[in-house]
């Protein structure tokens, strides 16, 4: 039947393995897969729920599933593909290598005319995502099987080419998972050290300390150790001019606290700026309002001129070492509690400069500050390195190898 079918919109990918030259065929998704609907409550089979899957990665959070769950679901076989059809789970997918039962709003896809690993790659392309996002329903939007099953996607005719593509992305997935595990481990170790290298409540020395330091620590208010606290500018954002970067709350990554440079902007050139509106190395900015209140960014040496926006408050310190030492405390639990309590408002949460000045934090000698700050900065650097390597492994251009 495949030979009799008239191919339309034949295409070839921009990048291809050597030895393959045949055009790819546009195929309706329902020609590539069979959607399984067989219900099973077999108590001997492992169950897979949304919570078991790392969203966007296609890996499992754990290796052991309950086999005594009374609930039944859709039975799946090794090499089937599970796809979460319900928002916000559209990025929950899995290519299991075991028999089991899918619990929840999954499509269980059995590849019938494509390689399983190729199918797993296909459902993660932007082309498939666009179709799946044309969802139905308003209260519980979900991907529409009629839309998806009739949509056409390009696929190689050669099963070997399908297999080579699937194997390539499986390798990339493995690298991404490896880097993510390293990142998670580094974060866990760092968080543990943040708890132990700063004194606990009711104590004045930390549990873990660098050799040679014995003096007790003291608690100081932020306003006592800074040179200045100032609000950012109220300029409108315009496209990046190639020189002056505009740092706003949304430009600070929620997790890494890094300056996101993917979509840079500049302050309106008509707004009068002074030298004090630019960040210096060692400055910390604090988000003062909204859902991100309390979020911080330390300028460790970002290249270029950076102007900070009005919903940020900038703290200037006498030394870069003190700034690093203070910044690391903004990533610890006591600071989170301070933000939670202080930001409470009748309307939108917020913390002003005077309230930030009253934040009580730990303080010790400059030499010890320097050692502690340098240690945690090294952790941040390693975490960032692995995250960038992970992002490089998941280069969007690689995901778009499939022609559209």
pLDDT digits (tens, 9 = 90+) for 40-53: 988 889 999 888 88
Is 19 among the domain residues?
A: no
- Is-contact 155 25, C-beta < 8 A? yes
Tell me the sheet residues that pair with 233: 309
The per-residue DSSP string of 206-253 comes to -SS--TT--SPPEEEEHHHHEEEEEE-B-PPEEE--SSEEEE-GGGB-
Helix (H) or strand (E) holding 130: helix 126-132
Is 178 among the domain residues?
A: no
Whole-angstrom distance, CA of residue 199 vs CA of residue 144: 54
User: What pLDDT, on a 0 to 100 scale, did the predictor assign at position 6?
Assistant: 40
Same domain? For 357 and 223 the reply is yes
The per-residue DSSP string of 152-198 comes to EEEE-S-HHHHHHHHHHHHHHHHHHHHHHHHHHHHHHHHHHHHHHSS
CATH number at residue 311: 3.90.220.20
User: What pLDDT, on a 0 to 100 scale, did the predictor assign at position 56?
Assistant: 82
Same domain? For 152 and 226 the reply is no
Same domain? For 237 and 349 the reply is yes
Same domain? For 223 and 303 the reply is yes
Q: Considering its fold, how many domains does the chain have in total?
A: 2
Is 197 among the domain residues?
A: no
Whole-model pTM?
A: 0.66
User: What pLDDT, on a 0 to 100 scale, did the predictor assign at position 21?
Assistant: 84
Same domain? For 222 and 357 the reply is yes
Is 371 among the domain residues?
A: no
User: What pLDDT, on a 0 to 100 scale, did the predictor assign at position 132?
Assistant: 87
User: What pLDDT, on a 0 to 100 scale, did the predictor assign at position 30?
Assistant: 95
User: Which segments in the chain show pLDDT lower than 70?
Assistant: 1-10, 62-68, 135-140, 302-303, 389-404
User: What pLDDT, on a 0 to 100 scale, did the predictor assign at position 200?
Assistant: 92
Is 286 among the domain residues?
A: yes
- In a 3-state reduction of DSSP, which class is residue 363? strand
Same domain? For 121 and 248 the reply is no
Same domain? For 160 and 242 the reply is no
Domain extent at residue 261: 218-363
User: What pLDDT, on a 0 to 100 scale, did the predictor assign at position 289?
Assistant: 93
User: What pLDDT, on a 0 to 100 scale, did the predictor assign at position 140?
Assistant: 64
Same domain? For 158 and 43 the reply is yes
Same domain? For 223 and 160 the reply is no
């Amino acid at each position: 039947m495949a030979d009799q079918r008239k191919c339309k919109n034949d295409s070839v990918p921009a990048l291809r393995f050597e030895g393959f030259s045949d055009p790819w065929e546009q195929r309706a998704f329902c020609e590539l897969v069979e959607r399984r609907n067989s219900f099973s409550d077999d108590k001997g089979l492992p169950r897979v729920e949304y919570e078991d899957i790392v969203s966007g990665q296609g890996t499992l959070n754990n290796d052991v599933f309950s086999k005594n769950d009374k609930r039944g679901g859709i039975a799946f076989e090794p090499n089937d593909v599970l796809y979460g059809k319900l928002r916000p789970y559209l990025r929950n997918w899995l290519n299991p290598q075991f028999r089991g039962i899918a619990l929840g709003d999954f499509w269980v896809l059995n590849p019938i005319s494509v390689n399983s690993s190729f199918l797993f790659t296909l459902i993660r392309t932007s082309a498939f995502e666009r179709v799946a996002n044309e969802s139905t329903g308003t209260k519980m939007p979900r991907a529409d099987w009629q839309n998806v099953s009739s949509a056409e996607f390009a696929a190689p005719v050669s099963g070997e080419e399908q297999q080579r593509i699937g194997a390539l992305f499986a390798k990339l997935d493995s690298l991404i998972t490896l880097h993510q595990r390293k990142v998670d481990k580094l974060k866990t170790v760092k968080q543990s050290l943040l708890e132990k290298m700063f004194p606990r409540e009711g104590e004045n020395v930390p549990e873990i300390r660098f050799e040679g330091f014995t003096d007790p620590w003291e608690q100081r208010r932020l306003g006592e150790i800074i040179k200045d606290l100032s609000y950012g500018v109220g300029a409108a954002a315009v496209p990046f001019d190639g020189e002056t970067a505009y740092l706003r709350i949304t430009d600070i990554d929620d997790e890494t606290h890094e300056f996101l440079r993917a979509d840079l902007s500049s302050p309106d050139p008509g707004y009068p700026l002074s030298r004090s509106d630019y960040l210096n190395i060692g400055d910390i900015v604090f988000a003062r309002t909204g859902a991100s209140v309390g979020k911080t960014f330390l300028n460790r040496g970002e290249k270029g001129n950076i102007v900070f926006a009005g919903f940020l408050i900038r703290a200037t310190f006498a030394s870069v070492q003190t700034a690093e030492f203070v910044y690391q405390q903004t990533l610890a639990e006591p600071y989170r509690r301070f933000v939670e309590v202080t930001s409470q408002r009748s309307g939108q949460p917020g913390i002003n400069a005077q309230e930030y000045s009253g934040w009580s934090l730990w303080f010790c000698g400059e030499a010890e500050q320097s050692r502690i700050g340098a240690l945690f900065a090294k952790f941040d650097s390693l975490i960032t390195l692995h995250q960038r390597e992970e992002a490089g492994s998941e280069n969007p251009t690689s995901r778009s190898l499939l022609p559209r």
